[in-house]
């Protein structure tokens, strides 16, 4: 997962700082040397790392920190704020045109994931912003690029305009005409990429820009290419004057250097990040939330938003009432796990929880839910609603029925009771309006 190595190294530095009642200037300098080394190992741009450490050091050596009763916490607060600053301070949204369609041109090097990102972005705009997007297929060079775009466009429920191997500039202009005629309020243009930056590529992109006058030019960059991604961003910005960037494959980059460098190097904000292979695996980029994730402080706001999008309101209310009446059953327990799976899986959610342990997502994938489901479905309806009936004989029967061990049954029941207890506390404090979430995960 992104920033995993950086998070571990920063937490090790902060752990030392927290153990000291007072901080000297020497302590701060030593900590900042380690922070700088951690940033460079995470493939953060050298100048960005240097500027960041300087900004933190100047603030951390101030009287406010040195005289504080909790200097370690003060330093972490400063690091959090400066991380947010270098990534753009606040979320930068796409500005929709008052005279539709809004034209969004995606560009970037080959292999960055532009074609799939076109469909992800279109699906996101359709479902979250109530837009009616269309995608223009202007990559006529890469084999099967148009076919790929048509497939992902169909999966996203968004039409794709294509004219085969026609001139890309002509395709873009005709797509714009078709979008206006069809009442589409967003046109996303998929352009060709190359394995490297060259004049031919840039000239074509400039011609498409000139003929369509896009409202937003977004550079799609592969987060896993590290410094190469930052160099590409700088070159594209100089040639095209981009409006922002989209980072793809952030879930596969354990270092995260590109995310921390792009904004500072180009002056242009990251607007979205790709966090997986599915079409719904796209998130708006929030610098403050990303800084919290990097520091291992979780991302509660994103977690709440995912819950609000995924949880069934009616079922949530029913579960809340059941918790208040102490009638929460194993059937309800299973329902919550299935809802959590809709939110992106337990592993992804754990990353957003403050103070959550560093857990390998592969060890708590969808198979864990399948095992939980198999155990619960091997029980009789009466047993699911009243787990106290489960004596040794019944547990052996259930274990045999689902192909697992009695220990697995006992573990599930223990987790159920712990979750039930915690959920009762949440609902009692008025926090369970959406049915809550089982924070005692089965791993």
CATH architecture of the domain with residue range 4-86: Up-down Bundle (1.20)
Whether 440 and 418 have beta carbons less than 8 Å apart is answered as yes
Q: Which CATH superfamily is domain 102-295 in?
A: P-loop containing nucleotide triphosphate hydrolases (3.40.50.300)
List the chain residues with pLDDT less than 50. 299, 353-365, 429-443
C-alpha to C-alpha distance for 56 and 34, rounded to whole angstroms: 13
Which pLDDT value is given to residue 436?
A: 43
Which pLDDT value is given to residue 230?
A: 83
Whether 359 and 4 have beta carbons less than 8 Å apart is answered as no
pLDDT tens-digit readout, 363-414: 444 567 788 889 999 999 999 989 999 999 999 999 999 999 999 999 999 8
Q: What is the pTM of this model?
A: 0.70
Which pLDDT value is given to residue 439?
A: 40
- Per CATH, which fold does 302-428 belong to? 434 Repressor (Amino-terminal Domain) (1.10.260)
Q: Which residues of 188-208 are buried (b: 16+ CB within 10 A; e: fewer)?
A: bbbbbbbeeeeeebbebbeeb
C-alpha to C-alpha distance for 332 and 342, rounded to whole angstroms: 16
Which pLDDT value is given to residue 20?
A: 75
**Residue (of 299, 350, 361, 296) closest to 8 by Cα position:** 296
Which pLDDT value is given to residue 178?
A: 96
Element (H, E) at 178: helix 168-181
CA 353 and chain centroid, separation: 13
Which pLDDT value is given to residue 443?
A: 37
Which pLDDT value is given to residue 204?
A: 93
Which pLDDT value is given to residue 18?
A: 79
**Residue (of 169, 166, 102, 93) closest to 134 by Cα position:** 102
In the chain, CATH 1.10.260.30 covers 302-428
C-alpha to C-alpha distance for 56 and 239, rounded to whole angstroms: 33
Residues with Cβ within 8 Å of residue 433, at least 6 apart in sequence: 316, 317, 320
């Amino acid at each position: 997962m992104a920033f995993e190595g950086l998070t571990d190294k920063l937490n090790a530095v902060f752990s030392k700082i927290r153990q000291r009642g007072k901080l000297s200037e020497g302590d701060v300098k030593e900590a900042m040397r380690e922070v700088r080394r951690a940033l460079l190992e995470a493939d953060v741009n050298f100048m960005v790392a240097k500027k960041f450490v300087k900004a933190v050091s100047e603030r951390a050596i101030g009287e406010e920190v040195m005289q504080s009763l909790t200097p370690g916490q003060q330093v972490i607060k400063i690091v959090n704020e400066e991380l947010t600053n270098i990534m753009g301070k606040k979320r930068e949204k796409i500005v929709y045109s008052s005279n539709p369609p809004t034209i969004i041109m995606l560009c970037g090097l080959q292999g960055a994931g532009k074609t799939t990102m076109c469909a992800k972005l279109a699906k996101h705009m359709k479902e979250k912003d109530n837009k009616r997007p269309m995608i223009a297929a202007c990559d006529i060079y890469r084999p099967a690029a148009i076919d790929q775009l048509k497939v992902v466009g169909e999966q996203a429920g968004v039409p794709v305009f294509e004219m085969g191997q026609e001139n890309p500039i002509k395709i873009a202009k005709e797509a714009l005409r078709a979008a206006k005629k069809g009442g589409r309020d967003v046109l996303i243009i998929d352009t060709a990429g190359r394995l490297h930056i060259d004049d031919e590529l840039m000239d074509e992109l400039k011609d498409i820009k000139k003929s369509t006058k896009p409202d937003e030019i977004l550079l799609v960059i592969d987060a896993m290419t590290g410094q190469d991604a930052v160099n590409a961003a700088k070159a594209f910005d100089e040639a095209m004057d981009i409006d922002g960037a989209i980072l793809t494959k952030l879930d596969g980059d354990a270092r995260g250097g590109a995310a921390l460098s792009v904004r500072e190097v180009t002056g242009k904000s990251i607007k979205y990040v790709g966090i997986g292979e599915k079409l719904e695996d796209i998130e708006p980029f929030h610098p403050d939330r990303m800084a919290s994730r990097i520091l291992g402080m979780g991302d509660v706001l994103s977690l709440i938003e995912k819950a609000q999008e995924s949880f069934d309101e009616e079922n949530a209310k029913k579960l809340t009432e059941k918790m208040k009446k102490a009638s929460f059953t194993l059937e309800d327990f299973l329902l919550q796990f299935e809802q959590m799976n809709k939110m992106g899986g337990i592993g992804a959610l754990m990353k957003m929880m403050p103070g959550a342990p560093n857990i390998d997502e592969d060890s708590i994938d969808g198979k864990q839910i399948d095992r939980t489901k198999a155990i619960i479905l091997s029980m009789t309806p009466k047993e699911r609603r009243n787990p106290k009936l489960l004596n040794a004989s019944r547990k052996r029967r259930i274990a045999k029925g689902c192909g697992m061990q009695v220990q697995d049954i006992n573990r599930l029941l223990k987790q159920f009771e712990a979750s039930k207890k915690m959920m009762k506390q949440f609902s009692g404090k008025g926090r369970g309006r959406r049915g809550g979430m089982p924070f005692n995960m089965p791993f």
